[in-house]
Structure 1
Amino acid sequence: MNESLLPAQRLAIARNPQRPGITDYIDMLFTDFVELRGDRLCGEDPAILGGVALFHGAPVTVIGTRKGKTLEENVRFHFGMPSPEGYRKALRLMRQAEKFRRPVLTFIDTSGAYPGMEAEERGQGEAIARNLFEMSRLTVPVIAVVTGEGNSGGALALAVANRVLMLENAVYAVLSPEGFATILWKDAARCEEACEIMKMTAQDLMGLGVIDEIVLEPEGGAHLAPAIAIRQVDQALHRQLAELSKKSGTALAAERYEKFRKIGAGKENT
Protein backbone atom coordinates (compact mmCIF):
# COMPACT_ATOMS: atom_id res chain seq x y z
CA MET A 1 0.00 0.00 0.00
CA ASN A 2 1.34 3.42 -0.99
CA GLU A 3 0.97 5.56 2.13
CA SER A 4 3.06 8.48 0.86
CA LEU A 5 0.36 10.10 -1.28
CA LEU A 6 -1.37 13.20 0.03
CA PRO A 7 -5.19 13.22 0.24
CA ALA A 8 -5.37 15.73 -2.62
CA GLN A 9 -3.26 13.40 -4.77
CA ARG A 10 -5.59 10.50 -4.02
CA LEU A 11 -8.54 12.70 -4.94
CA ALA A 12 -6.95 13.44 -8.31
CA ILE A 13 -6.46 9.72 -8.94
CA ALA A 14 -10.03 8.98 -7.84
CA ARG A 15 -11.31 11.51 -10.38
CA ASN A 16 -9.23 10.25 -13.30
CA PRO A 17 -11.73 9.80 -16.17
CA GLN A 18 -10.08 6.55 -17.28
CA ARG A 19 -10.49 4.90 -13.89
CA PRO A 20 -12.52 1.66 -14.11
CA GLY A 21 -16.25 2.32 -13.82
CA ILE A 22 -19.37 0.24 -13.32
CA THR A 23 -19.43 -1.01 -16.92
CA ASP A 24 -15.84 -2.26 -16.59
CA TYR A 25 -16.66 -4.10 -13.38
CA ILE A 26 -19.74 -5.67 -14.92
CA ASP A 27 -17.81 -6.78 -18.00
CA MET A 28 -14.92 -8.33 -16.04
CA LEU A 29 -16.51 -9.59 -12.81
CA PHE A 30 -19.90 -10.90 -13.86
CA THR A 31 -21.48 -13.13 -16.46
CA ASP A 32 -24.98 -13.21 -17.95
CA PHE A 33 -25.70 -9.62 -16.93
CA VAL A 34 -29.24 -8.46 -17.72
CA GLU A 35 -29.84 -4.73 -17.34
CA LEU A 36 -33.12 -3.64 -15.77
CA ARG A 37 -34.29 -0.09 -16.46
CA GLY A 38 -36.82 2.35 -15.11
CA ASP A 39 -38.21 3.15 -11.69
CA ARG A 40 -41.80 2.15 -12.62
CA LEU A 41 -42.95 5.56 -11.38
CA CYS A 42 -41.49 8.31 -13.54
CA GLY A 43 -38.70 7.28 -15.89
CA GLU A 44 -35.22 5.96 -16.52
CA ASP A 45 -32.02 7.49 -15.13
CA PRO A 46 -28.87 6.38 -17.00
CA ALA A 47 -26.66 7.68 -14.16
CA ILE A 48 -27.41 4.42 -12.34
CA LEU A 49 -26.84 1.10 -14.06
CA GLY A 50 -28.30 -2.04 -12.51
CA GLY A 51 -29.46 -5.53 -13.17
CA VAL A 52 -29.08 -9.22 -12.45
CA ALA A 53 -25.94 -11.24 -13.11
CA LEU A 54 -23.92 -14.26 -12.05
CA PHE A 55 -20.92 -13.78 -9.76
CA HIS A 56 -18.76 -16.89 -9.58
CA GLY A 57 -21.79 -18.80 -10.83
CA ALA A 58 -24.27 -17.48 -8.24
CA PRO A 59 -27.04 -14.94 -8.95
CA VAL A 60 -26.58 -11.41 -7.59
CA THR A 61 -28.06 -7.98 -8.09
CA VAL A 62 -25.53 -5.40 -9.31
CA ILE A 63 -26.09 -1.64 -9.03
CA GLY A 64 -23.65 1.19 -9.69
CA THR A 65 -23.34 4.87 -10.48
CA ARG A 66 -22.20 5.52 -14.04
CA LYS A 67 -20.12 8.51 -15.16
CA GLY A 68 -18.71 7.50 -18.51
CA LYS A 69 -15.19 8.14 -19.77
CA THR A 70 -15.71 10.72 -22.54
CA LEU A 71 -17.41 14.10 -22.48
CA GLU A 72 -20.25 12.70 -24.57
CA GLU A 73 -20.77 9.86 -22.08
CA ASN A 74 -20.45 12.26 -19.13
CA VAL A 75 -23.29 14.35 -20.51
CA ARG A 76 -25.45 11.32 -21.33
CA PHE A 77 -24.97 9.88 -17.83
CA HIS A 78 -25.37 13.24 -16.07
CA PHE A 79 -21.75 13.09 -14.89
CA GLY A 80 -22.66 10.23 -12.57
CA MET A 81 -25.08 12.36 -10.51
CA PRO A 82 -28.30 10.35 -10.11
CA SER A 83 -31.78 11.83 -10.13
CA PRO A 84 -34.69 10.51 -8.02
CA GLU A 85 -35.55 8.06 -10.81
CA GLY A 86 -32.10 6.49 -10.44
CA TYR A 87 -32.41 5.97 -6.71
CA ARG A 88 -35.94 4.60 -7.12
CA LYS A 89 -34.66 2.22 -9.79
CA ALA A 90 -31.93 1.06 -7.42
CA LEU A 91 -34.51 0.55 -4.69
CA ARG A 92 -36.73 -1.44 -7.06
CA LEU A 93 -33.81 -3.73 -7.85
CA MET A 94 -32.93 -4.14 -4.17
CA ARG A 95 -36.51 -5.06 -3.31
CA GLN A 96 -36.44 -7.59 -6.13
CA ALA A 97 -33.17 -8.98 -4.75
CA GLU A 98 -34.80 -9.34 -1.35
CA LYS A 99 -37.76 -11.21 -2.86
CA PHE A 100 -35.56 -13.67 -4.76
CA ARG A 101 -32.85 -13.90 -2.08
CA ARG A 102 -30.03 -12.47 -4.18
CA PRO A 103 -27.06 -10.64 -2.60
CA VAL A 104 -26.75 -6.97 -3.53
CA LEU A 105 -23.42 -5.58 -4.76
CA THR A 106 -23.13 -1.82 -5.31
CA PHE A 107 -20.35 0.18 -6.97
CA ILE A 108 -20.11 3.86 -6.06
CA ASP A 109 -18.41 6.65 -8.01
CA THR A 110 -20.31 9.91 -7.78
CA SER A 111 -19.70 13.51 -6.82
CA GLY A 112 -23.20 13.46 -5.32
CA ALA A 113 -26.86 13.34 -6.26
CA TYR A 114 -28.04 15.69 -9.01
CA PRO A 115 -28.79 19.01 -7.26
CA GLY A 116 -31.07 20.65 -9.84
CA MET A 117 -34.46 22.13 -9.04
CA GLU A 118 -36.25 19.54 -11.18
CA ALA A 119 -34.69 16.73 -9.14
CA GLU A 120 -35.88 18.35 -5.91
CA GLU A 121 -39.34 18.80 -7.40
CA ARG A 122 -39.50 15.08 -8.18
CA GLY A 123 -38.48 14.10 -4.64
CA GLN A 124 -34.69 13.76 -4.57
CA GLY A 125 -34.42 14.00 -0.79
CA GLU A 126 -37.22 11.50 -0.19
CA ALA A 127 -35.76 9.05 -2.72
CA ILE A 128 -32.37 9.06 -0.99
CA ALA A 129 -33.94 8.79 2.48
CA ARG A 130 -36.12 5.90 1.32
CA ASN A 131 -33.06 4.02 0.07
CA LEU A 132 -31.29 4.49 3.41
CA PHE A 133 -34.33 3.20 5.27
CA GLU A 134 -35.01 0.23 3.00
CA MET A 135 -31.36 -0.82 2.68
CA SER A 136 -31.01 -0.92 6.45
CA ARG A 137 -33.73 -3.60 6.59
CA LEU A 138 -32.63 -5.93 3.78
CA THR A 139 -32.16 -9.55 4.88
CA VAL A 140 -29.76 -10.46 2.06
CA PRO A 141 -26.00 -9.75 2.06
CA VAL A 142 -25.17 -6.21 0.89
CA ILE A 143 -21.64 -5.17 -0.09
CA ALA A 144 -20.75 -1.66 -1.29
CA VAL A 145 -17.53 -0.76 -3.08
CA VAL A 146 -16.40 2.87 -3.36
CA THR A 147 -14.42 2.70 -6.58
CA GLY A 148 -13.68 6.38 -7.16
CA GLU A 149 -15.41 9.34 -5.55
CA GLY A 150 -18.21 8.84 -3.03
CA ASN A 151 -19.75 12.10 -1.89
CA SER A 152 -22.78 13.08 0.13
CA GLY A 153 -26.12 11.29 0.44
CA GLY A 154 -25.86 10.55 -3.25
CA ALA A 155 -23.21 7.96 -2.42
CA LEU A 156 -24.65 6.83 0.91
CA ALA A 157 -27.94 5.95 -0.80
CA LEU A 158 -26.13 2.91 -2.24
CA ALA A 159 -23.79 2.26 0.68
CA VAL A 160 -25.87 1.09 3.65
CA ALA A 161 -24.14 -2.27 3.46
CA ASN A 162 -22.91 -5.10 5.66
CA ARG A 163 -19.44 -4.50 4.25
CA VAL A 164 -18.15 -1.24 2.80
CA LEU A 165 -14.97 -1.59 0.73
CA MET A 166 -12.86 1.18 -0.75
CA LEU A 167 -10.21 1.11 -3.40
CA GLU A 168 -6.88 2.37 -2.12
CA ASN A 169 -7.11 5.73 -3.89
CA ALA A 170 -10.86 6.25 -3.61
CA VAL A 171 -12.37 9.00 -1.46
CA TYR A 172 -15.58 8.99 0.57
CA ALA A 173 -16.95 12.08 2.29
CA VAL A 174 -19.97 14.13 3.31
CA LEU A 175 -19.40 16.44 0.31
CA SER A 176 -16.70 17.43 -2.15
CA PRO A 177 -13.58 19.19 -0.84
CA GLU A 178 -14.48 22.20 -3.00
CA GLY A 179 -17.90 22.35 -1.39
CA PHE A 180 -16.37 21.95 2.07
CA ALA A 181 -13.91 24.79 1.46
CA THR A 182 -16.65 27.02 0.07
CA ILE A 183 -18.89 26.48 3.09
CA LEU A 184 -16.16 26.72 5.73
CA TRP A 185 -13.90 29.42 4.27
CA LYS A 186 -15.89 30.87 1.36
CA ASP A 187 -12.93 29.87 -0.82
CA ALA A 188 -13.07 26.81 -3.08
CA ALA A 189 -9.37 27.29 -3.88
CA ARG A 190 -8.53 25.86 -0.44
CA CYS A 191 -9.52 22.42 -1.71
CA GLU A 192 -6.18 20.78 -0.82
CA GLU A 193 -6.43 22.04 2.75
CA ALA A 194 -9.97 20.68 2.95
CA CYS A 195 -8.76 17.27 1.77
CA GLU A 196 -6.43 17.09 4.76
CA ILE A 197 -9.10 18.06 7.27
CA MET A 198 -11.97 15.95 5.95
CA LYS A 199 -10.43 12.49 6.58
CA MET A 200 -11.82 11.26 3.29
CA THR A 201 -9.21 8.70 2.21
CA ALA A 202 -9.56 4.94 2.58
CA GLN A 203 -6.72 4.92 5.07
CA ASP A 204 -8.41 7.55 7.28
CA LEU A 205 -11.82 5.89 7.10
CA MET A 206 -10.43 2.45 7.89
CA GLY A 207 -8.95 3.90 11.06
CA LEU A 208 -12.27 5.51 11.96
CA GLY A 209 -14.21 2.29 11.43
CA VAL A 210 -16.33 3.70 8.61
CA ILE A 211 -15.17 1.10 6.07
CA ASP A 212 -14.28 -2.57 6.40
CA GLU A 213 -11.55 -3.21 3.84
CA ILE A 214 -9.12 -1.35 1.60
CA VAL A 215 -8.66 -2.91 -1.84
CA LEU A 216 -5.14 -2.31 -3.09
CA GLU A 217 -4.50 -0.70 -6.48
CA PRO A 218 -1.62 -0.98 -8.94
CA GLU A 219 1.16 1.61 -8.57
CA GLY A 220 -0.14 4.96 -9.79
CA GLY A 221 -3.82 4.05 -9.68
CA ALA A 222 -6.40 1.61 -11.02
CA HIS A 223 -6.61 3.40 -14.38
CA LEU A 224 -3.05 2.32 -15.23
CA ALA A 225 -3.78 -1.41 -14.92
CA PRO A 226 -7.57 -1.91 -14.80
CA ALA A 227 -7.46 -5.70 -15.10
CA ILE A 228 -5.23 -6.01 -12.03
CA ALA A 229 -7.36 -3.58 -10.02
CA ILE A 230 -10.59 -5.34 -10.92
CA ARG A 231 -9.08 -8.72 -10.05
CA GLN A 232 -8.30 -7.35 -6.58
CA VAL A 233 -11.93 -6.23 -6.22
CA ASP A 234 -13.08 -9.66 -7.36
CA GLN A 235 -11.07 -11.40 -4.66
CA ALA A 236 -12.29 -9.03 -1.95
CA LEU A 237 -15.93 -9.36 -2.98
CA HIS A 238 -15.75 -13.14 -3.22
CA ARG A 239 -14.18 -13.42 0.23
CA GLN A 240 -16.60 -11.02 1.91
CA LEU A 241 -19.66 -12.53 0.23
CA ALA A 242 -18.66 -16.05 1.27
CA GLU A 243 -18.46 -14.89 4.88
CA LEU A 244 -21.78 -13.00 4.80
CA SER A 245 -23.62 -15.85 3.08
CA LYS A 246 -23.17 -17.99 6.20
CA LYS A 247 -25.34 -15.63 8.25
CA SER A 248 -29.12 -15.60 8.60
CA GLY A 249 -31.20 -12.80 7.14
CA THR A 250 -32.15 -11.57 10.60
CA ALA A 251 -28.49 -11.44 11.63
CA LEU A 252 -27.51 -9.58 8.44
CA ALA A 253 -30.13 -6.87 8.97
CA ALA A 254 -29.29 -6.49 12.66
CA GLU A 255 -25.55 -6.37 11.97
CA ARG A 256 -26.00 -3.71 9.28
CA TYR A 257 -28.17 -1.58 11.55
CA GLU A 258 -25.71 -1.75 14.42
CA LYS A 259 -22.77 -1.09 12.13
CA PHE A 260 -24.13 2.28 11.06
CA ARG A 261 -25.40 3.20 14.52
CA LYS A 262 -21.85 2.85 15.84
CA ILE A 263 -20.13 4.98 13.20
CA GLY A 264 -18.68 8.07 14.84
CA ALA A 265 -19.37 6.92 18.40
CA GLY A 266 -16.55 8.14 20.65
CA LYS A 267 -14.81 9.88 17.72
CA GLU A 268 -15.80 13.47 18.56
CA ASN A 269 -12.23 14.51 19.35
CA THR A 270 -10.52 12.56 16.57
Structure 2
Amino acid sequence: MTTYLEFEKPIAELESKISELRHLPNSGDVDIAEEVMRLQAKVDKLLRATYAKLTPWQRVQVARHAERPHAQRYIDRLISNYMPLAGDRAFGEDAAIVGGIGRLDGRSVVVLGQEKGEDTEGRIKHNFGMARPEGYRKAQRLMKLADRFGMPVVTLVDTPGAFPGVESEARGVAEAVASTIDTCLSLGVPMVSVIIGEGGSGGALAIASADRVYMLENSIYSVITPEGCASILWRDAANAQDAAEAMKVTAGDLKKLEVIDEVIPEPMGGAHRGADETIDLVGKVVSEAITELSQYDADALRRRRQDKFLAIGKKGL
Protein backbone atom coordinates (compact mmCIF):
# COMPACT_ATOMS: atom_id res chain seq x y z
CA MET A 1 0.00 0.00 0.00
CA THR A 2 1.43 3.36 -1.07
CA THR A 3 2.05 5.97 1.64
CA TYR A 4 1.06 9.44 0.49
CA LEU A 5 2.57 12.71 1.62
CA GLU A 6 0.41 15.66 2.64
CA PHE A 7 0.79 17.47 -0.69
CA GLU A 8 -0.11 14.26 -2.58
CA LYS A 9 -3.71 14.09 -1.28
CA PRO A 10 -5.35 14.86 -4.67
CA ILE A 11 -3.23 12.09 -6.23
CA ALA A 12 -4.21 9.72 -3.40
CA GLU A 13 -7.91 10.37 -4.00
CA LEU A 14 -7.65 9.61 -7.71
CA GLU A 15 -5.60 6.46 -7.18
CA SER A 16 -8.09 5.31 -4.53
CA LYS A 17 -10.89 5.65 -7.10
CA ILE A 18 -8.85 3.66 -9.63
CA SER A 19 -8.32 0.91 -7.05
CA GLU A 20 -12.06 0.78 -6.29
CA LEU A 21 -12.97 0.60 -9.98
CA ARG A 22 -10.56 -2.27 -10.59
CA HIS A 23 -12.34 -4.31 -7.91
CA LEU A 24 -15.82 -3.70 -9.37
CA PRO A 25 -17.49 -6.36 -11.53
CA ASN A 26 -17.99 -5.22 -15.13
CA SER A 27 -21.77 -4.68 -15.41
CA GLY A 28 -21.71 -3.60 -19.04
CA ASP A 29 -23.33 -0.24 -18.26
CA VAL A 30 -19.96 1.43 -17.70
CA ASP A 31 -16.70 0.60 -19.43
CA ILE A 32 -14.54 0.22 -16.33
CA ALA A 33 -11.31 -0.19 -18.28
CA GLU A 34 -11.93 3.04 -20.16
CA GLU A 35 -12.71 4.92 -16.93
CA VAL A 36 -9.56 3.54 -15.30
CA MET A 37 -7.49 4.74 -18.26
CA ARG A 38 -9.08 8.19 -18.04
CA LEU A 39 -8.37 8.49 -14.32
CA GLN A 40 -4.83 7.14 -14.74
CA ALA A 41 -4.14 9.85 -17.33
CA LYS A 42 -5.35 12.42 -14.80
CA VAL A 43 -3.03 10.90 -12.15
CA ASP A 44 -0.04 11.07 -14.50
CA LYS A 45 -0.81 14.68 -15.39
CA LEU A 46 -1.24 15.63 -11.72
CA LEU A 47 1.98 13.84 -10.75
CA ARG A 48 3.94 15.73 -13.41
CA ALA A 49 2.42 19.06 -12.37
CA THR A 50 2.98 18.43 -8.65
CA TYR A 51 6.57 17.20 -8.89
CA ALA A 52 7.55 19.90 -11.38
CA LYS A 53 7.12 22.59 -8.72
CA LEU A 54 8.03 20.98 -5.41
CA THR A 55 9.10 23.39 -2.67
CA PRO A 56 12.31 22.67 -0.74
CA TRP A 57 10.25 21.47 2.23
CA GLN A 58 8.27 19.10 0.03
CA ARG A 59 11.54 17.69 -1.31
CA VAL A 60 12.64 17.11 2.29
CA GLN A 61 9.48 15.05 2.78
CA VAL A 62 10.09 13.06 -0.43
CA ALA A 63 13.73 12.44 0.58
CA ARG A 64 12.47 10.94 3.86
CA HIS A 65 9.65 8.91 2.32
CA ALA A 66 9.36 5.56 4.11
CA GLU A 67 9.10 3.64 0.82
CA ARG A 68 12.10 5.28 -0.81
CA PRO A 69 14.73 2.62 -1.65
CA HIS A 70 17.48 2.44 0.95
CA ALA A 71 21.15 1.45 0.72
CA GLN A 72 20.74 -2.32 1.12
CA ARG A 73 18.24 -2.43 -1.73
CA TYR A 74 20.76 -0.69 -4.01
CA ILE A 75 23.45 -3.14 -2.96
CA ASP A 76 21.21 -6.17 -3.50
CA ARG A 77 20.28 -5.05 -7.02
CA LEU A 78 23.57 -3.59 -8.27
CA ILE A 79 26.34 -5.56 -6.57
CA SER A 80 26.94 -9.16 -7.59
CA ASN A 81 28.98 -11.66 -5.53
CA TYR A 82 28.44 -9.35 -2.57
CA MET A 83 30.25 -10.30 0.64
CA PRO A 84 29.21 -8.17 3.64
CA LEU A 85 31.93 -7.17 6.11
CA ALA A 86 31.20 -6.25 9.72
CA GLY A 87 32.87 -4.65 12.72
CA ASP A 88 35.49 -1.98 13.28
CA ARG A 89 38.03 -4.36 14.89
CA ALA A 90 38.09 -2.10 17.95
CA PHE A 91 34.66 -1.95 19.61
CA GLY A 92 31.92 -3.72 17.69
CA GLU A 93 29.48 -3.82 14.81
CA ASP A 94 27.19 -0.92 13.87
CA ALA A 95 24.28 -1.86 11.62
CA ALA A 96 23.63 1.78 10.67
CA ILE A 97 26.41 1.44 8.09
CA VAL A 98 26.39 -1.61 5.84
CA GLY A 99 29.19 -2.51 3.50
CA GLY A 100 31.32 -5.12 1.86
CA ILE A 101 33.04 -6.31 -1.30
CA GLY A 102 31.35 -7.19 -4.57
CA ARG A 103 31.28 -6.54 -8.31
CA LEU A 104 29.63 -3.63 -10.10
CA ASP A 105 29.37 -4.26 -13.86
CA GLY A 106 32.10 -6.88 -13.52
CA ARG A 107 34.48 -4.56 -11.63
CA SER A 108 35.50 -5.34 -8.03
CA VAL A 109 34.43 -2.56 -5.65
CA VAL A 110 33.99 -1.83 -1.99
CA VAL A 111 30.50 -0.47 -1.31
CA LEU A 112 29.29 1.34 1.82
CA GLY A 113 25.87 2.68 2.67
CA GLN A 114 23.88 4.18 5.50
CA GLU A 115 20.86 1.92 5.98
CA LYS A 116 17.68 3.29 7.58
CA GLY A 117 15.69 0.05 7.59
CA GLU A 118 12.52 -0.94 5.73
CA ASP A 119 10.12 -1.50 8.66
CA THR A 120 9.90 -0.75 12.38
CA GLU A 121 12.11 -3.69 13.35
CA GLY A 122 14.65 -2.79 10.68
CA ARG A 123 14.70 0.89 11.62
CA ILE A 124 15.44 0.02 15.23
CA LYS A 125 18.15 -2.46 14.19
CA HIS A 126 19.83 0.09 11.88
CA ASN A 127 19.20 3.02 14.27
CA PHE A 128 17.44 4.97 11.48
CA GLY A 129 20.75 5.23 9.60
CA MET A 130 22.46 7.20 12.40
CA ALA A 131 25.88 5.64 12.89
CA ARG A 132 27.87 5.52 16.12
CA PRO A 133 31.69 5.87 16.16
CA GLU A 134 32.20 2.17 15.45
CA GLY A 135 30.16 2.54 12.26
CA TYR A 136 32.48 5.23 10.93
CA ARG A 137 35.54 3.28 12.01
CA LYS A 138 34.16 0.28 10.12
CA ALA A 139 33.82 2.57 7.08
CA GLN A 140 37.47 3.58 7.49
CA ARG A 141 38.50 -0.07 7.70
CA LEU A 142 36.67 -0.95 4.49
CA MET A 143 38.00 2.09 2.61
CA LYS A 144 41.57 1.28 3.63
CA LEU A 145 40.99 -2.30 2.48
CA ALA A 146 39.85 -0.95 -0.88
CA ASP A 147 42.94 1.26 -1.10
CA ARG A 148 45.25 -1.63 -0.30
CA PHE A 149 43.80 -3.85 -3.04
CA GLY A 150 43.14 -1.15 -5.64
CA MET A 151 39.33 -1.35 -5.59
CA PRO A 152 37.13 1.71 -6.21
CA VAL A 153 34.87 2.82 -3.34
CA VAL A 154 31.13 3.45 -3.79
CA THR A 155 29.13 5.08 -0.99
CA LEU A 156 25.37 5.50 -0.65
CA VAL A 157 24.46 8.35 1.69
CA ASP A 158 21.15 8.41 3.58
CA THR A 159 21.23 9.67 7.17
CA PRO A 160 19.87 12.49 9.34
CA GLY A 161 23.39 12.63 10.85
CA ALA A 162 25.70 10.73 13.16
CA PHE A 163 24.03 9.37 16.31
CA PRO A 164 24.23 12.08 19.03
CA GLY A 165 23.61 9.86 22.09
CA VAL A 166 25.73 9.91 25.24
CA GLU A 167 27.44 6.59 24.45
CA SER A 168 28.26 7.84 20.97
CA GLU A 169 29.86 10.99 22.35
CA ALA A 170 31.71 8.97 24.98
CA ARG A 171 33.29 6.78 22.29
CA GLY A 172 34.45 9.78 20.24
CA VAL A 173 31.94 10.30 17.45
CA ALA A 174 33.38 13.70 16.42
CA GLU A 175 36.86 12.22 16.02
CA ALA A 176 35.45 9.21 14.16
CA VAL A 177 33.62 11.44 11.66
CA ALA A 178 36.69 13.65 11.13
CA SER A 179 38.98 10.63 10.69
CA THR A 180 36.59 9.11 8.15
CA ILE A 181 36.63 12.33 6.10
CA ASP A 182 40.43 12.26 6.26
CA THR A 183 40.42 8.64 5.07
CA CYS A 184 38.21 9.58 2.10
CA LEU A 185 40.55 12.39 1.11
CA SER A 186 43.60 10.12 1.42
CA LEU A 187 42.40 7.29 -0.83
CA GLY A 188 44.46 6.47 -3.92
CA VAL A 189 41.51 4.75 -5.65
CA PRO A 190 38.41 6.26 -7.30
CA MET A 191 35.60 7.12 -4.90
CA VAL A 192 32.03 7.90 -5.96
CA SER A 193 29.23 8.94 -3.60
CA VAL A 194 25.50 9.23 -4.19
CA ILE A 195 23.08 11.02 -1.86
CA ILE A 196 20.09 8.68 -2.23
CA GLY A 197 17.82 10.24 0.39
CA GLU A 198 18.79 12.41 3.32
CA GLY A 199 22.36 13.70 3.56
CA GLY A 200 22.61 15.23 7.01
CA SER A 201 25.54 16.97 8.69
CA GLY A 202 29.02 15.51 9.18
CA GLY A 203 27.45 12.08 9.41
CA ALA A 204 26.80 12.28 5.66
CA LEU A 205 29.98 14.15 4.71
CA ALA A 206 32.04 11.47 6.47
CA ILE A 207 31.42 9.03 3.61
CA ALA A 208 30.74 11.59 0.86
CA SER A 209 34.13 13.31 0.53
CA ALA A 210 34.52 11.69 -2.88
CA ASP A 211 35.89 12.33 -6.36
CA ARG A 212 32.33 12.52 -7.65
CA VAL A 213 29.31 13.40 -5.52
CA TYR A 214 25.89 12.85 -7.08
CA MET A 215 22.43 13.56 -5.69
CA LEU A 216 19.14 12.01 -6.64
CA GLU A 217 16.69 14.66 -7.82
CA ASN A 218 14.55 14.57 -4.66
CA SER A 219 17.31 14.00 -2.12
CA ILE A 220 18.61 16.66 0.28
CA TYR A 221 22.08 17.52 1.62
CA SER A 222 22.70 19.97 4.45
CA VAL A 223 24.81 20.81 7.46
CA ILE A 224 21.81 20.34 9.79
CA THR A 225 18.21 19.20 9.47
CA PRO A 226 15.66 21.96 8.74
CA GLU A 227 14.03 21.20 12.10
CA GLY A 228 17.37 21.57 13.89
CA CYS A 229 18.12 24.83 12.09
CA ALA A 230 14.65 26.18 12.96
CA SER A 231 15.09 25.23 16.62
CA ILE A 232 18.31 27.27 16.75
CA LEU A 233 17.29 30.32 14.68
CA TRP A 234 13.60 30.61 15.56
CA ARG A 235 13.60 28.48 18.74
CA ASP A 236 10.72 26.56 17.18
CA ALA A 237 10.97 23.45 14.96
CA ALA A 238 7.65 24.49 13.40
CA ASN A 239 9.66 26.90 11.24
CA ALA A 240 11.36 23.99 9.47
CA GLN A 241 9.73 24.95 6.17
CA ASP A 242 11.30 28.42 6.32
CA ALA A 243 14.65 26.85 7.22
CA ALA A 244 14.49 24.45 4.27
CA GLU A 245 13.87 27.41 1.93
CA ALA A 246 16.82 29.38 3.31
CA MET A 247 19.34 26.54 3.62
CA LYS A 248 19.50 25.55 -0.08
CA VAL A 249 19.19 21.84 0.70
CA THR A 250 17.93 20.60 -2.68
CA ALA A 251 19.94 18.91 -5.42
CA GLY A 252 19.30 21.78 -7.84
CA ASP A 253 20.54 24.39 -5.38
CA LEU A 254 23.65 22.41 -4.49
CA LYS A 255 24.52 21.85 -8.15
CA LYS A 256 24.36 25.62 -8.71
CA LEU A 257 26.60 26.14 -5.67
CA GLU A 258 29.01 23.49 -7.06
CA VAL A 259 28.86 21.45 -3.87
CA ILE A 260 27.85 18.39 -5.90
CA ASP A 261 28.81 17.28 -9.40
CA GLU A 262 25.52 16.19 -10.98
CA VAL A 263 21.83 15.57 -10.28
CA ILE A 264 20.44 12.11 -11.11
CA PRO A 265 16.81 12.33 -12.28
CA GLU A 266 14.09 10.27 -10.60
CA PRO A 267 11.00 8.67 -12.13
CA MET A 268 7.83 10.76 -12.16
CA GLY A 269 6.53 10.88 -8.61
CA GLY A 270 9.85 10.13 -6.92
CA ALA A 271 12.19 7.17 -6.44
CA HIS A 272 9.61 5.32 -4.33
CA ARG A 273 7.34 5.07 -7.40
CA GLY A 274 10.06 3.53 -9.57
CA ALA A 275 12.67 2.00 -7.27
CA ASP A 276 14.26 -0.43 -9.71
CA GLU A 277 14.42 2.21 -12.45
CA THR A 278 16.09 4.63 -10.03
CA ILE A 279 18.60 2.07 -8.77
CA ASP A 280 19.56 0.98 -12.29
CA LEU A 281 20.20 4.59 -13.34
CA VAL A 282 22.34 5.19 -10.24
CA GLY A 283 24.34 2.07 -11.07
CA LYS A 284 24.92 3.28 -14.63
CA VAL A 285 26.06 6.73 -13.49
CA VAL A 286 28.39 5.32 -10.83
CA SER A 287 29.92 2.75 -13.20
CA GLU A 288 30.61 5.41 -15.84
CA ALA A 289 32.18 7.70 -13.24
CA ILE A 290 34.51 4.94 -12.00
CA THR A 291 35.56 4.17 -15.58
CA GLU A 292 36.41 7.83 -16.17
CA LEU A 293 38.27 8.21 -12.86
CA SER A 294 40.31 5.05 -13.43
CA GLN A 295 42.54 6.94 -15.87
CA TYR A 296 44.19 8.82 -12.97
CA ASP A 297 46.94 7.43 -10.76
CA ALA A 298 46.78 7.49 -6.96
CA ASP A 299 48.59 10.80 -6.49
CA ALA A 300 46.44 12.55 -9.10
CA LEU A 301 43.24 11.24 -7.50
CA ARG A 302 44.27 12.48 -4.05
CA ARG A 303 45.30 15.89 -5.39
CA ARG A 304 42.14 16.35 -7.47
CA ARG A 305 39.87 15.24 -4.62
CA GLN A 306 41.50 17.51 -2.06
CA ASP A 307 41.50 20.48 -4.46
CA LYS A 308 37.81 19.85 -5.18
CA PHE A 309 36.79 20.25 -1.55
CA LEU A 310 39.18 23.12 -0.84
CA ALA A 311 37.60 25.02 -3.73
CA ILE A 312 34.03 24.78 -2.37
CA GLY A 313 32.84 28.19 -1.24
CA LYS A 314 35.68 30.15 -2.88
CA LYS A 315 33.74 31.04 -6.02
CA GLY A 316 33.11 34.78 -6.20
CA LEU A 317 35.54 35.61 -3.37
TM-score > 0.5 by shorter chain: yes
Tell me, which stretches of 5 or more residues in structure 2 are unaligned?
Answer: 1-47
In 1: Cα distance, 2:277 partner to 2:105 partner: 18
- How far residue 225 of structure 1 moved from its aligned partner, in angstroms, is 0.8
In 2: Cα distance, 1:266 partner to 1:35 partner: 41
- How far residue 118 of structure 1 moved from its aligned partner, in angstroms, is 0.5
In 2: Cα distance, 1:17 partner to 1:217 partner: 16
Q: Which structure has more RCO (C-alpha within 8 Å, separation ≥ 6)?
A: 1
In 2: Cα distance, 1:266 partner to 1:142 partner: 24
Which residue among 290, 293, 296 is the counterpart of 1:247?
Answer: 296
| 1:112 corresponds to | 161
- How far residue 131 of structure 1 moved from its aligned partner, in angstroms, is 0.7
Partner SS for 2:315: coil
Letter in structure 2 aligned against 1:48:
I
- How far residue 161 of structure 1 moved from its aligned partner, in angstroms, is 0.1
| 2:76 corresponds to | 27
| 1:208 corresponds to | 257
| 2:197 corresponds to | 148
- How far residue 67 of structure 1 moved from its aligned partner, in angstroms, is 0.5
Letter in structure 2 aligned against 1:216:
P
Per-residue displacement from partner, 1:113-163 (whole Å, max 9, x unpaired)?
A: 000010010110110010111211111000010000000000000011000
In 1: Cα distance, 2:52 partner to 2:189 partner: 35
Which residue among 231, 248, 251 is the counterpart of 1:199?
Answer: 248
In 2: Cα distance, 1:174 partner to 1:61 partner: 26
In 1: Cα distance, 2:58 partner to 2:316 partner: 26
Counterparts of 1:9-24 in structure 2 under 5 Å?
9-24=58-73
Counterparts of 1:126-137 in structure 2 under 5 Å?
126-137=175-186
Matched, 1:139 2:188: yes
- How far residue 267 of structure 1 moved from its aligned partner, in angstroms, is 5.5
In 2: Cα distance, 1:216 partner to 1:156 partner: 22
Counterparts of 1:1-270 in structure 2 under 5 Å?
3-266=52-315
Partner SS for 1:133: helix
| 2:11 corresponds to | none
Post-superposition, which runs of at least 4 consecutive aligned residues in structure 1 deviate over 2 A? none
Q: Which has the larger Rg?
A: 2
Tell me, which stretches of 5 or more residues in structure 1 are unaligned?
Answer: none
Letter in structure 1 aligned against 2:282:
V
Letter in structure 1 aligned against 2:97:
I
Partner SS for 2:269: coil
Q: 1:171 to 1:97 in 2, by over 3 A?
A: same
TM-score by length of 2: 0.83
- How far residue 23 of structure 1 moved from its aligned partner, in angstroms, is 1.0
In 1: Cα distance, 2:223 partner to 2:184 partner: 19
What is the Cα-based RMSD across aligned positions, in Å?
1.1
Per-residue displacement from partner, 1:223-242 (whole Å, max 9, x unpaired)?
A: 11101111110111111111
Letter in structure 2 aligned against 1:150:
G
